[in-house]
Amino acid sequence: MSNFATPPPQPEASLLSFPAPHVVLVTLNRPREMNCINAQGHADLDAVWQWMDEEPSLRVGILTGQGRAFCAGADLKEWNASTSGNKSRAPMPPSGFGGLARRKGKKPVICAVNGMCFGGGAEMIINSDIVIAASRALIGLPEVKRGVVALAGALPRLVRTVGKQRAMEMVLTGRSLSAGEAEKWGLVNEVVSVDEKEKDEVISAAVVSSALAVAKEIAGNSPDSVLGVKLGWEGVGADEATGMLNDTWVKRLYEGENIKEGLRAFVEKRKPVWVDSKL
């Protein structure tokens, strides 16, 4: 895709590609560091997700990692250098770890977890919308073993996703879950069976392929409706969430072109042809 309203960002430690119409694939590209994210990486990802949300032609993002890890968390070497010396760390962007922790984004993000997923990496998948994981993936929040706390948005969301007792088991023990166990807990949507003897790039391709199938399905729906259903999930009750949708979204949705096209296509028994959302 090249017909963007604005040019894509050029992150230093991530790769951007466009494997299907309306889909951006973001690949963390620090394999030697297990894709640990440093200060620059947080700023880069913040810019990428903001650009995705503002780019009319894009509807879904996929996040994955290069090599044998999805993301092993924060760059602790950089963190240690800042705590043991006089050099301060660059401030975290308002959107938080990986641009996802406190992201106020409108468009869905799918995590394609190709391997190890620890600390901030696990928080990113908890903060995302859909998680596809390779069967070899390990997912954990080991912060208590390092004297820190998982503060990148995961704790309140994890409790809502897996329940208090399971969430407490993860964060109090710091133990890792297999992809299969995480799926049983509801933390992972789908596990892709892979041969661990295969090369990392083969395993990553398999997981990204499954994530892309989901992304294409989402991108094939009304972009206005997809934006609408992303509202009202965070920290509010059913009545308040419904009120938010009615007050801020429904009027614009009903006045848009895509709802008219969806209804026409239903009546005419054909596949709808969506236009890029103007909401």
Query: Is it the case that residue 1 has pLDDT exceeding 60?
Result: no
What radius of gyration, in Å, describes the C-alpha atoms of the chain?
19
Domain ranges of the chain: 14-219, 223-268
- Catalytic (active site) residue 217: no
Mean pLDDT is lowest, of 40-54, 222-236, 265-279, for 222-236
Set 33, 55, 78, 123: catalytic member: 123
| Average predicted confidence (pLDDT) for the chain | 88
* H runs (alpha helix) in 38-141: 39-54, 76-84, 120-127
Query: Does residue 178 sit in helix, strand or coil?
Result: strand
Q: Report d(CA 171, CA 154) in Å as an integer.
A: 10
Question: Which tens digits make up the pLDDT trace of 196-216?
Answer: 999 999 999 999 999 999 999
Pairing of the two strands 14-20 and 60-65: unpaired
Mean pLDDT is lowest, of 130-134, 153-157, 206-210, for 153-157
Question: Which tens digits make up the pLDDT trace of 3-59?
Answer: 899 999 999 999 999 999 999 999 999 999 999 999 899 999 999 999 999 999 999
Alpha carbon 100 to chain centroid, angstroms: 7
Q: Going by C-beta distance under 8 Å and a sequence separation of 6 or more, which residues neighbour residue 43?
A: 90, 93
Domain 14-219 coded CATH 3.90.10.10: no
**Can you point out the beta strands (E) in 21-158?**
23-28, 60-65, 69-71, 109-113, 116-118, 130-134, 138-140
Q: Report d(CA 273, CA 226) in Å as an integer.
A: 15
CB atoms inside a 10 Å sphere around CB 269: 6
Provide the terminal-to-terminal Cα distance of the chain, rounded to the nearest Å.
22
Short-list 59, 215, 49, CA closest to 132: 215
- Catalytic (active site) residue 123: yes
Short-list 144, 164, 156, 138, CA closest to 96: 156
Short-list 122, 44, 35, 98, CA closest to 71: 35
Q: Report d(CA 11, CA 260) in Å as an integer.
A: 38
Question: Which tens digits make up the pLDDT trace of 72-128?
Answer: 988 877 766 665 666 666 778 888 889 998 887 789 999 999 999 999 999 999 999
Set 33, 55, 78, 143: catalytic member: 143
Calculate the dihedral angle through the C-alpha atoms of 152, 155, 156, 157, rounding to the nearest 10 degrees: 80
Query: Does residue 175 sit in helix, strand or coil?
Result: coil
- What pLDDT score does 245 carry? 61
